[in-house]
Amino acid sequence: MSKKKVLFIINPISGGTNKEGLYKLIEDFCNENSFEYNLLKTTGKQDSQSIRQEIDTFNPSLVVAGGGDGTIKLVAEELLGTTIKLGILPLGSANGLASELGIPEDWKTNLALLNESKSKRIDTIRVNGELCLHLSDVGFNADLIKEFEEEGTRGKLGYAISFVKQLSKRKKSTFQIEINGESYSYKAEMIVLANASKYGTGAVVNPRCDMHDGLFEVCVFMPLPWHKFFHLTWHSFIGRLEESEYFAIHQGKDVTITSKKSRTLQVDGEVIGKTKKVKAEVLKGALEIVVPA
């Protein structure tokens, strides 16, 4: 009987933590379970090419991506259209997709999932040509991520500092949304293209989430006065955003969003840049992911 072949792709700087203990844990786990494995560390240079080459050479049945949502997205792009399963080892500052799927952050508990062979197919979204597994947005959160990257401080503390800074810089734009043959106009601070329900912080932005229904949600956050901010935040964390007058939601298989002013776009934690037009479409059941039983 041939050994199970597992390829680990680890972002060594994700989350700002030392990974030496993780590498030893992976080695011990694979030896104990008679897994044949390779480990590839991302460098930020030609990672897609390196991952593709390693998959072609090693021919694994499972690829485990260790990092934040950006790393998961990078690896998943190379698995679309294949029968290879994706494992997720959450190592980022905000591990949104892992949180959504109930995937544990504890290294030993996480690796144990590889023995359970439980997986599920999920939809993905193509946003301006970029693969989105979790959440994409234009506006406030994308500006926040851009600030976070420019500050260069990794980890949850750096993210919190950037969040506070962006609160004082909130901007609104007029967006035109074309979906399901209908057109809507909103003044908004942020529009989220949601395959999932919440950010890694636990804040729910999509109360209608179903990751395998062949649809995604367009969630609109309209300008609100300061005294309503914590009220909306509370509605978000308890999953009752649709009760707020400052929130709107639409479901569909594809959407076009335009604005007169360029706004920052981010996809799964990666800043794509400023744009006046966002086009997105669902890719139904495009990816098979290892999940807890």
End-to-end CA distance of the chain: 25
Label residue 227 by pLDDT band (50, 70, 90).
confident
Phi, psi for residue 274 in degrees, rounded to 5: -85, 145
- Per-residue pLDDT, averaged over 205-220, amounts to 95
227 vs 4, more confident: 4
Q: Which pTM was predicted?
A: 0.86
Check whether 192 has a pLDDT greater than 80.
yes
147 vs 286, more confident: 286
Nearest Cα neighbor of 100 from 23, 219, 194 is: 194
Six-digit token string for 232: 């909306």
Find the DSSP H helices in the chain: 20-32, 47-58, 69-77, 96-100, 107-112, 140-151, 155-167, 229-237
Q: Residues 126-156: pLDDT tens digits? A: 999 999 999 999 998 898 888 777 765 555 5
> In sequence order, what are the beta bridge partners of 124?
283
- Write down the pLDDT at residue 284: 96
Under 8 Å CB-to-CB from 118, ≥6 apart: which residues? Answer: 290, 291, 292, 293
- Per-residue pLDDT, averaged over 3-12, amounts to 94
Label residue 157 by pLDDT band (50, 70, 90).
low
218 vs 226, more confident: 218
Label residue 230 by pLDDT band (50, 70, 90).
confident
Check whether 168 has a pLDDT greater than 60.
no
Q: Is 236 exposed, middle or buried (0-12, 13-18, 19+ CB in 10 A)?
A: buried
Average pLDDT, the chain: 90
> Cα-atom radius of gyration of the chain, to the nearest Å?
19
Check whether 193 has a pLDDT greater than 90.
yes
Check whether 95 has a pLDDT greater than 70.
yes
Tokens 């994706």 belong to which residue?
86
Check whether 81 has a pLDDT greater than 80.
yes
Label residue 79 by pLDDT band (50, 70, 90).
very high
Element (H, E) at 39: strand 36-41
Distance CA 18, CA 106 (A): 14
How many CA atoms, within 13 angstroms, populate the side-chain half-sphere of residue 125?
32
Q: Which of 46-55, 57-66, 167-176, 191-200 has the lowest mean pLDDT?
A: 167-176
Under 8 Å CB-to-CB from 260, ≥6 apart: which residues? Answer: 173, 174, 276
- Write down the pLDDT at residue 2: 64
Nearest Cα neighbor of 162 from 180, 176, 148, 182 is: 148
Distance CA 68, CA 198 (A): 15
Check whether 210 has a pLDDT greater than 90.
yes
Distance CA 135, CA 121 (A): 17
Looking at the chain, how many residues does it have?
A: 293
